[in-house]
Structure 1
Amino acid sequence: MPPSSPAPSPVPSPVLTTARDVLDPAHLRAALRVNPADATIAAALRVGAAAAVVLALSAAVGRTDLAAFASLGALVILYGRYEPYRRRASLLAAVAAVFVVAFALTASLTAAGAPVLVVLAVVALVAGLATALCTLVRTGPPGASIVVFAAAGGMVGPLAWSDVAERGVAFALGAVVAWLIGMSGYLVRPSAPARLAVRRAADAVRRALDAGPEAADAAASARAAIDRARDALADDLSHRRTRDTARVLAAELAAVAAALDGPPAAEPSGATAPADALPPRRRLRDDVRSGWRVPGWRLAGVRVVLASVVAGGATLAAGLSHPAWAQLGATATLQGASTRHAVVRALQRGGGTVLGALLAWPLLEAHLSFAATCAVVVVLQVVTEVVVGRHYGLAMLTITPMALLMTSLGGAVDPAGIAASRALDTVLGAVVGVLAVVLVHPRRRTAAG
């Protein structure tokens, strides 16, 4: 009688595995860690300038009631801050279109008198689609979370159809201003993003060499920085105005890469110049085509839809007044690519929002004038952009008052009520986001399937 084969070992449950990962105390230490960041001042000033321009225009035309919606549209400028200008132009235009559609959709539903649950379901769908799109196009931070913020702006009611039109125009004009200011640097320093990318690659290689050969993580980060610089140079190389500078920078980058990996063993005859060895220019549609075949973006979108639906429904059941903010909290938590990133984001967003709401309360109680409120909003936006790359939780200390002050521009608010709602809704959304990471996983294939 042949010996029986050993029983296959049980496959560990992804839910239990992820739950154990979520409870890892290392996540708390990571949530408290401050990261290095560079080149934040110029990007921060552009964000502040976009907000200042749209707020000033609202006052100049005597429509301060539309200032909140114009400034919401101007948040388009948060995207593509370090991309080469030709790619940035396409990216900002695409994000602006998504923003306007999301806002117009929820505003139209609100004006039509659709039930709140229907509007929240649409916001959840927008959040999921935006997450998938941002993953495919590789927008980077802030991902889909600001799209949800834009969609939530369309829920401010009651609304007549004339209000939808006026607010939609203000929103679109804010997005146009953001595009113009985001592209303004092209007029004076068209190669600035590529220069920055090469400098960052050189700094990353220097850190990797100082860390020694055993520092695999530092070497991997350096190679990723080199690849990003090559992408930026490929974009500049395809444009007449930046082509010559791109060739010079490509030679510098080749020397940087050689310092990390060492020169080739033998120089081949007829070797190509560094600029000719760059990859093809990467367009948005190229990202979508290549990303379409990579697993992960579908699951990310589904997770966000489910988490947003649950977060919005739970907020309504709890009697809280801003369910879309809970959906925003869940979406922001799920923008990371790993369990660790989601948990750290949840801790930072939840804790930072609670403290930020406490800071916002006295500002709202002060009933600042329109001009003073606008000035504070602009300053908070600039500070946020300087801080957010270093520590997301600290940035929430300024993001929360800024968001609540922007909301107050649209009409009178109860300071204590709106601050408490922001804190509670965000914490609830962050918790639901983490639960989605634990519970929602790809369907496992059987051995026969």
Structure 2
Amino acid sequence: MPLPAPARPHLAPVRAAAQDVLDPAHLRAALRVSPADATLAAALRCGAAVALALAVPGLLGRPDLAAFASLGALTSLYGRYDPYRRRAALLATVGALMTATIAVFTLLAAAGAPALVTTAAVALLAAGATALCLLLRTGPPGATIVVFAAGAGLAGAPALADLGPRALAGAGGALLAWLVCTAGVLVRPTAPARLAVRRAADAVRTAERPGAAPQAGRAARAAVARARDVLADDASWWRTRSAVPALARELDAVERALDATGAPRTDAAPAARTTLRAQARSRASGPWRLPTARVGVAGVVACAVAVVAGLGHAAWATMGSTAVLQGESARHAVVRALQRGAGTVAGALVAWPLLAAPLGFWGTAAVVVVLQTVTETVVGRHYGVAMLTITPMALLMTSLAHPADPSALALDRALDTVLGAVVGVLAVVLVHPRARRPDAPAAAPLG
């Protein structure tokens, strides 16, 4: 009697990921609303930055550049809870990346680059921006907005003469976002540190509840560590140094309460302020390569399929797969795919009449600002609900630069996004680290 063929060890991760993807619990997770705090101030900052970025080109008689200025202003989505010096450096970095992306992809479009080149370029950008966001730990929205900027650069039929104005508009929007998001340092420079300590206290109270899950203790430890990092940053700056001792004592009391719950401590070096470059170097050996590879592979496939299928705005498919792959687990990817896919389809239906309405430039700008502000208020609570406002906002921004048939634009957004979401989930199932042969020698430890 023949023996069954031995299982292939290199397929084990694929089978495990596929089983995880098919778990029906993901649907319940996709419907769950998460708690969120301190969203209003961040939402108002982003709304103000986008409003100013839209107003300047409108007042200068260049409404066609408003979309690129508002894209630059979306750098206000990053570093929203960081201490002000880190926020300033991060916003400048992301703003430069957004401006360069608009310029490079406008150049590709103006030069008439073939679809193969633009597909590879969008995927490479998605992977590179993902690596950068992971190394710098920017948090949401990660590389997604950068890919959106690439799609804007490719849209329409730009000439070489459009490259300078588009890039300048993007840089101007990023500068306005930088000014708006750092202006609080003049009024309340210790606000990020106070928020971090308060969040640590809230997390510890959650861990202290009877029957709290072990992950509540781990989350509380992470919140305390985050607050230590913010206080270390503030302690090295004259504007905030005087407030650090009182906040540190408050945080010490919070950590003692956490110790009393029995939550295990983690060995960690004392917090110290570091630059963005040093932070990226310290995380270079961390788990950023696999997520980056998944985003790159999924980006190529999603964009190529969209091109072959004749869908407009193929870069949106890469944006969809990139958004789905912002987490590391199959569960996160599936939940994001469900929320982004369903939310975008519903959001496209909302956008359709708005695109068809005779709003004019200023009416469209006002609706975009309102939608952006509402988005930032709800996105932390439920990503799918936020897509109801993200989708019409993005399509209205696109229409400012390139008016198009409303139904075609809404349909392209829905189909590209669903395609990207599906490809993103498949990337989680299929792309895994290469398994080491059983007879291969173990790698020597680093350091």
The TM-score bracket by the shorter chain reads over 0.9
Q: Distance in 2 between matches of 1:321 and 1:9?
A: 43
**Who is 2:244 aligned against?**
246
Q: Distance in 2 between matches of 1:379 and 1:211?
A: 41
**Who is 2:225 aligned against?**
227
**Who is 2:145 aligned against?**
146
Give 1:225's aligned amino acid. A
- Seen in structure 2, the aligned counterparts of structure 1 residues 13 and 175 have a Cα distance that, compared at 3 Å, is same
**How big is each residue's C-alpha offset from its partner over 1:50-96, in whole Å with a ceiling of 9 and x where there is no partner?**
01111111121111111111111111110000000011011111111
Deviation of 1:367 (Å): 2.5
1:282 to 269, 274, 282: 274
- Does the aligned pair in 2 maintain the 1:315–1:425 contact within 8 Å? yes
**How big is each residue's C-alpha offset from its partner over 1:329-354, in whole Å with a ceiling of 9 and x where there is no partner?**
01101111211111111000000000
Q: Distance in 2 between matches of 1:98 and 1:69?
A: 13
2:305 to 314, 325, 340: 314
Alignment of 1:421-432 (within 5 A): 421-432=412-423
2:389 to 391, 398, 411: 398
- Does the aligned pair in 2 maintain the 1:231–1:282 contact within 8 Å? no
- Does the aligned pair in 2 maintain the 1:234–1:278 contact within 8 Å? no
- Asked if residue 342 in structure 1 is aligned to residue 340 in structure 2, the reply is no
- Seen in structure 2, the aligned counterparts of structure 1 residues 278 and 253 have a Cα distance that, compared at 3 Å, is farther
Identity level (%): 63
TM-score (norm 2): 0.93
Deviation of 1:215 (Å): 2.4
**Who is 1:124 aligned against?**
123
Helix, strand or coil at the partner of 2:404: coil
Give 1:290's aligned amino acid. S
Give 1:18's aligned amino acid. A
Deviation of 1:119 (Å): 1.2
- Asked if residue 441 in structure 1 is aligned to residue 440 in structure 2, the reply is no
Q: Distance in 2 between matches of 1:116 and 1:159?
A: 16
**Who is 2:159 aligned against?**
160
Q: Distance in 2 between matches of 1:105 and 1:9?
A: 47
Q: Distance in 2 between matches of 1:297 and 1:244?
A: 37
- Does the aligned pair in 2 maintain the 1:233–1:278 contact within 8 Å? no
Deviation of 1:211 (Å): 3.5
- Does the aligned pair in 2 maintain the 1:235–1:281 contact within 8 Å? yes
- Does the aligned pair in 1 maintain the 2:120–2:300 contact within 8 Å? yes
Q: Distance in 2 between matches of 1:313 and 1:255?
A: 55
Alignment of 1:400-419 (within 5 A): 400-419=391-410
Alignment of 1:231-380 (within 5 A): 231-262=229-260, 279-294=271-286, 296-380=287-371
Q: Distance in 2 between matches of 1:235 and 1:349?
A: 35
Deviation of 1:116 (Å): 2.2
- Seen in structure 2, the aligned counterparts of structure 1 residues 263 and 152 have a Cα distance that, compared at 3 Å, is closer
**Who is 1:40 aligned against?**
39
- Does the aligned pair in 1 maintain the 2:348–2:410 contact within 8 Å? yes
Alignment of 1:42-191 (within 5 A): 42-191=41-190
Task: List runs of 5+ in structure 1 lacking aligned partners.
Answer: 1-6, 265-276
- Does the aligned pair in 1 maintain the 2:110–2:157 contact within 8 Å? yes
Task: List runs of 5+ in structure 2 lacking aligned partners.
Answer: 263-268, 441-447
Q: Distance in 1 between matches of 2:261 and 2:407?
A: 63
Deviates more, 1:110-119 or 1:340-349: 110-119
Deviation of 1:9 (Å): 8.2
**How big is each residue's C-alpha offset from its partner over 1:376-425, in whole Å with a ceiling of 9 and x where there is no partner?**
00000000000000000000000000000001111321000100110011
Deviation of 1:257 (Å): 0.3
Helix, strand or coil at the partner of 1:170: helix
Deviates more, 1:189-198 or 1:203-212: 203-212
Helix, strand or coil at the partner of 1:240: coil
**How big is each residue's C-alpha offset from its partner over 1:210-261, in whole Å with a ceiling of 9 and x where there is no partner?**
144x621111111111011111111101101100111210110000000110
Give 2:423's aligned amino acid. V
- Asked if residue 389 in structure 1 is aligned to residue 380 in structure 2, the reply is yes
Q: Distance in 1 between matches of 2:210 and 2:34?
A: 17
Deviation of 1:157 (Å): 2.6
Deviation of 1:448 (Å): 2.2
TM-score (norm 1): 0.93
Q: Distance in 1 between matches of 2:113 and 2:306?
A: 18
**How big is each residue's C-alpha offset from its partner over 1:2-51, in whole Å with a ceiling of 9 and x where there is no partner?**
xxxxx998746111110000000011110000000000000000000001
- Does the aligned pair in 1 maintain the 2:151–2:316 contact within 8 Å? yes
Q: Distance in 1 between matches of 2:7 and 2:133?
A: 39
Give 1:358's aligned amino acid. L
Q: Distance in 2 between matches of 1:9 and 1:409?
A: 56
Query: Structure 1 segments of 4 or more deviating over 6 A?
Result: 7-10
- Does the aligned pair in 1 maintain the 2:207–2:261 contact within 8 Å? no
Deviation of 1:324 (Å): 0.5
Deviation of 1:115 (Å): 0.8
Q: Distance in 1 between matches of 2:365 and 2:273?
A: 40
